[in-house]
Amino acid sequence: MTIPSKVRLVEVGPRDGLQNEKQPIRVADKVRLVDDLTAAGLSYIEVGSFVAPKWVPQMAGSVEVFAQIKQAPGVTYAALTPNLKGFEAALQAGVKEVAVFAAASEAFSQKNINCSISESLERFLPLMDAAKQQGIRVRGYVSCVLGCPYEGSIAPTKVAEVARELYHMGCYEISLGDTIGAGTAGETRRLIEVVGSKVPRNKLAGHFHDTYGQALANIYASLLEGIEVFDSSVAGLGGCPYAKGATGNVATEDVLYLLNGLGISSGIDMDLLIEAGARICAVLDKPNGSRVARARLAQA
Ligand code: HMG
Ligand code: MG
């Protein structure tokens, strides 16, 4: 299979990147991050979540963030919504695209959204109906596709089953989440083969956390399997509050460097992206998780 000539990056830094931060982050800093990412040329930014604030306190300010960001034409600003209540809140905030999230592991589903996999899928149905009526596109996530922090290994057939359900209920794209970042390139190729038999490959995306340092290899493996959409997080920020020890997503800067090296276009400006990452790391007082950004900043 030939490598795709064009790739779309889904920037999840403001959501996946910040949701796990213990320290309060000012709305103004979140807004600045989103605006910086828009300026860097990202065409899809996951801005926040409309989830229970008791579960993920950091995302409680998402209404204000959506109200204050500068939305550029042609850019998608999306939010996570676990249920109809979250969807209605997102709608009120003017959100134009949402994502639902399920898991391929029963234990993770219980820990993350307090229900079984099948209950979660049922819960999405009224949300999907409402979204259809409102003309809102819905993306779907499947977590724990290459392992679960509670159950260990997960069968690719289970991932395929959940992905197929999400696709059939109307999610236009299914993002396969290696929540704990433990998957390898071989496992990734096998996963795509199995899931690709149930959901067209051009409807699949990769979401690789980088805990074991395998995310770029997994993205390359996915490119070889024809996947054209990848989630990433500026400066490698993030983690999931319900996946202890898992680190952030693969850094957007590092993915961009890989894509540039392969001659794959993405429309993103590396310098502006590095600035965006450096600024939020300074706010958080955290080391930059992007190897590319660290190298470039050391040379500057
Ligand atoms: P629950 O406690 O079972 O829900 O939580 P409930 O319906 O019993 O409601 C409990 C309370 O939450 C009530 O308030 C509801 O009103 C409120 P109270 O009466 O106690 O004051 N509530 C809400 N508030 C705001 N927005 C809502 C909402 N829904 C209920 N949408 C629930 C179930 C799903 C709500 C909860 O478990 C939750 O919010 N979980 C979110 C967890 C989360 O955000 N995890 C991180 C994102 S997923 C991720 O990171 C993985 C991903 O990156 C891919 C990967 O890496 O694998 C996507
Ligand atoms: Mg994630």
Confidence at residue 300, expressed as pLDDT on a 0 to 100 scale:
85
Supply the mean pLDDT for the chain. 96
Domain count for the chain: 1
pLDDT tens column, 133-183: 999 999 999 999 999 999 999 999 999 999 999 999 999 999 999 999 999
Half-sphere exposure for 161 (CA within 13 Å, toward CB): 11
The token pair that represents 4 in the structure block:
């795709």
- Does the pTM surpass 0.95? The reply is yes
Going from the Cα of 49 to the center of ligand 1, the distance in angstroms, rounded, reads 9
Closest Cα to atom 36 of ligand 1:
113
State whether the beta carbon of 219 lies less than 6 angstroms from ligand 1: no
d(CA 241, CA 85): 21
Q: Which ligand is nearest to the CA of 20?
A: 1
State whether the beta carbon of 52 lies less than 6 angstroms from ligand 1: yes
Q: How many helices (H) and strands (E) does the chain have?
A: 11, 8
Of 199, 51, 172, nearest to 120 by C-alpha is 51
Structural domain includes residue 265: yes
The token pair that represents 123 in the structure block:
């819960």
Work out the angle between the directed axes of helices 106-113 and 117-134 (0-180°, nearest 10): 60
To test ligand 1's pocket by mutation, which of 92, 113, 124 has the most ligand atoms within 8 angstroms of CB? 113
d(CA 237, CA 21): 9
With the C-alpha atoms ordered 90, 95, 96, 101, is the resulting torsion angle positive or negative? negative
Q: Which ligand is nearest to the CA of 159?
A: 1
State whether the beta carbon of 95 lies less than 6 angstroms from ligand 1: no
Index of the ligand 1 atom closest to the CA of residue 239:
50
Structural domain includes residue 15: yes
d(CA 220, CA 222): 5
Confidence at residue 56, expressed as pLDDT on a 0 to 100 scale:
95
State whether the beta carbon of 206 lies less than 6 angstroms from ligand 1: no
Q: Are 144 and 175 in contact (CB under 8 A)?
A: no
pLDDT tens column, 253-282: 999 999 999 999 999 999 999 999 999 999
Confidence at residue 241, expressed as pLDDT on a 0 to 100 scale:
73
pLDDT at 240 over 80: no
Mean pLDDT over 35-43 rounds to: 98
The CATH number of residue 79's host domain is 3.20.20.70
Residue 156 to residues 104, 142, 166, 278, 293, Cα–Cα distance (Å): 9, 11, 15, 37, 34
Per the structure, the complete domain to which residue 140 belongs is given by 8-299
At a CB cut-off of 8 Å and minimum separation 6, what does 296 contact? Answer: 270, 274
To test ligand 1's pocket by mutation, which of 10, 55, 138, 145 has the most ligand atoms within 8 angstroms of CB? 55
Going from the Cα of 121 to the center of ligand 1, the distance in angstroms, rounded, reads 14
Structural domain includes residue 3: no
Q: Which ligand is nearest to the CA of 85?
A: 1
d(CA 224, CA 218): 10
Q: Are 218 and 208 in contact (CB under 8 A)?
A: yes
> What pairing do the DSSP bridges indicate for beta strands 137-143 and 173-178?
parallel
State whether the beta carbon of 114 lies less than 6 angstroms from ligand 1: yes
What's phi and psi for 32, nearest 5 deg? -60, -40
Confidence at residue 210, expressed as pLDDT on a 0 to 100 scale:
96
Mean pLDDT over 49-63 rounds to: 96
Structural domain includes residue 46: yes
pLDDT at 1 over 70: no
- Catalytic site residues? 240
Q: Which of 22-31, 204-213, 228-237, 242-251 has the lowest mean pLDDT?
A: 242-251
d(CA 116, CA 279): 39
d(CA 290, CA 278): 10
Index of the ligand 1 atom closest to the CA of residue 81:
31
d(CA 14, CA 235): 11
Confidence at residue 238, expressed as pLDDT on a 0 to 100 scale:
87
Structural domain includes residue 2: no
pLDDT at 98 over 70: yes
Index of the ligand 1 atom closest to the CA of residue 49:
44
Closest Cα to atom 1 of ligand 1:
114
Structural domain includes residue 1: no
Of 173, 47, 155, nearest to 100 by C-alpha is 173
pLDDT at 67 over 90: yes
Going from the Cα of 156 to the center of ligand 1, the distance in angstroms, rounded, reads 26
